[in-house]
Amino acid sequence: MSYSKKRYFVYTLLTLFIMLIPFITINDNHVLLLSFDKLQFHFLGSVYSVSELYVMPFLLMFLFIGIFAMTSMFGRIWCGWSCPQTIFRVIYRDLIEGTILDLRKINNKQKDIDYNKKSNQIKKYVALILWFIITLVISSNFMLYFIPPEDFFVYIQNPADHSFMIIFILTVALFLVYDIVFMKENFCVYICPYSRIQSVLYDDDTKQVSYDYNRGGKVYENNVKSIFKVKQWSNNEECTTCEACVKVCPTHIDIRKGLQVECINCLECSDACSTVMGKLNKESLINWGSTNTVINKKNVSIFTKKNLTYFVSLFLCIFLAFYFSLEKEDFLVNANKTTELYSKKENGIISNNYILTIHNTQDKDYTFDIRLLENKDFKIKRFDSFELKAGEKTKKILILETTEDFEKLEKKPSKISIEIFTKENEKVKVTRQIAFFYPKN
């Protein structure tokens, strides 16, 4: 199977996966959702409030370290096989323009479309309309990662009441039209920062698109094209200079020059060379392999010191994310003192006032109450149990006071442990330590 067919298969799987993720739920929670409306982050069925996103830094570190590790080992495989920019260009250039409307040849991306023909001009507008419809679907699906589908399809029925969402979808769609139709591969070459850092991550063990000049001969000397005298197979110069690899390249480079920042590892040049060399019963001169394997003919192990460092770093990120996710609380509680530090009565009783902010992050309605933990010198003077619906939050007054004259207390603790629990299920609870103030002298 050619690299192109493998890429199309990967593109299809990734597209279906990304389109379906917003609709997948675990225990009525989404697999991946960052809801600005509800201030929640859903990840693999767990729900985190914006105030408990301590898992996010480790996930971001895993993402960036993973990109570096992947590039170090497999080159720009992301660009050619997974990047939305590349997938969208294949859909527009190869599927719409090439296959459906027959505006260009897929195996010759260097030849521009002849717009002097009126039929081609009409086809160009048809291509733009088809692509704009597809971009609306893409931008709507992208929005589902921020607005859950059950809300999105309700909002879309009342566009006037959700103008920001409509403007966002149209803006993303129009940007994709400009990017894919007019900017083309220039985005990869001049704008994308990933192409600029790849050379720092590469070494002789990195898999990349490599031209085997040991077999094909050096077509370029110091990036200046050599003049071939008489090409003879007896001289082991197998490159026929047909330049099929150049015509098919979407970023308009000649891979025979060696590694270039524009190369996106799509391997279309390898397929083109395989077709030509296959007619001569020879293997392709262009392969996906490291310099050591293709040029120096060395065996390369994936378990190098550098790669092992990446593996350990990725494992630590996942471990720490999992560890801190276990610290997730059943609901959120913030305890804040009022402006008055304490109040002293004539009998020596000291009281402190607090404002509790309680956020029910569960998907059920609960009745909340409070109790003191292992402290007989204090009591709750004021706190009324209350019912809180799923997703809502409220503020309540809590007043604590000493059971007797604070001067008679053997120990004068400065912190008190309280437990907020639900009457329906006392396992759903949160413990807090709050400061208790009283006169020191």
What are the start-end ranges of the H helices in 287-345?
291-294, 305-325
Average pLDDT over residues 86-97: 92
Bigger pLDDT: 329 vs 161: 161
Question: Is the pLDDT at 27 greater than 90, yes or no?
Answer: no
Q: How far apart are the C-alpha atoms of 344 and 333, rounded to whole Å?
A: 27
All residues at 6 or more sequence positions from 36 whose CB lies less than 8 Å from its CB, including other chains = 146
Average pLDDT over residues 368-384: 83
Assess contact for 248 and 286: CB atoms under 8 A. no
Q: Which position has the token pair 């503020």?
A: 395
Over residues 310-361, the pLDDT tens digits come to 899 999 988 887 777 666 677 778 888 887 888 888 788 888 888 888 888 7
Assess contact for 215 and 171: CB atoms under 8 A. no
Bridge pairing between strands 208-211 and 286-289: antiparallel
Average pLDDT over residues 102-109: 83
State the pLDDT at residue 18.
Answer: 93
Percent of the chain whose pLDDT exceeds 90: 18
**Res. 114 pLDDT band, cuts 50 70 90:** confident
State the pLDDT at residue 223.
Answer: 56
State the pLDDT at residue 291.
Answer: 82
Assess contact for 375 and 346: CB atoms under 8 A. no
Question: Is the pLDDT at 115 greater than 80, yes or no?
Answer: no
State the pLDDT at residue 231.
Answer: 44
State the pLDDT at residue 225.
Answer: 58
Range of lowest pLDDT (85-99, 137-151, 203-217):
203-217
Bigger pLDDT: 223 vs 163: 163
**128: enclosing H helix or E strand:** helix 118-143
Give the best-scoring range by mean pLDDT among 36-50, 127-141, 219-233: 127-141
Question: Is the pLDDT at 133 greater than 50, yes or no?
Answer: yes
Render 335-375 in DSSP notation, one character per residue: EEE-S---EE-TTS-EEEEEEEEEE--SSS-EEEEEEE-S-
Average pLDDT over residues 6-25: 92
State the pLDDT at residue 335.
Answer: 85
State the pLDDT at residue 222.
Answer: 58
Over residues 244-272, the pLDDT tens digits come to 889 999 888 888 888 788 888 889 999 99
Over residues 46-70, the pLDDT tens digits come to 777 666 666 778 888 888 888 888 8
Assess contact for 338 and 353: CB atoms under 8 A. yes
Closest residue by Cα to residue 106 from 89, 122, 93, 92: 93
State the pLDDT at residue 110.
Answer: 80
Q: What's the predicted TM-score (pTM) here?
A: 0.74
Two structure tokens written together for 2: 């050619």
Average pLDDT over residues 373-384: 81
Assess contact for 383 and 399: CB atoms under 8 A. yes
Q: List, in sequence order, every residue forming a beta bridge with 434; answer none if it has no partner.
A: 416
**Res. 415 pLDDT band, cuts 50 70 90:** confident
Phi, psi of 273 (to 5 degrees): -70, -35
**Res. 230 pLDDT band, cuts 50 70 90:** very low
State the pLDDT at residue 89.
Answer: 93
Mean per-residue pLDDT of the chain: 83
Cα pseudo-dihedral 38, 42, 47, 50, rounded to 10: -50
State the pLDDT at residue 235.
Answer: 58
State the pLDDT at residue 226.
Answer: 55
Assess contact for 386 and 396: CB atoms under 8 A. yes
**Res. 12 pLDDT band, cuts 50 70 90:** very high
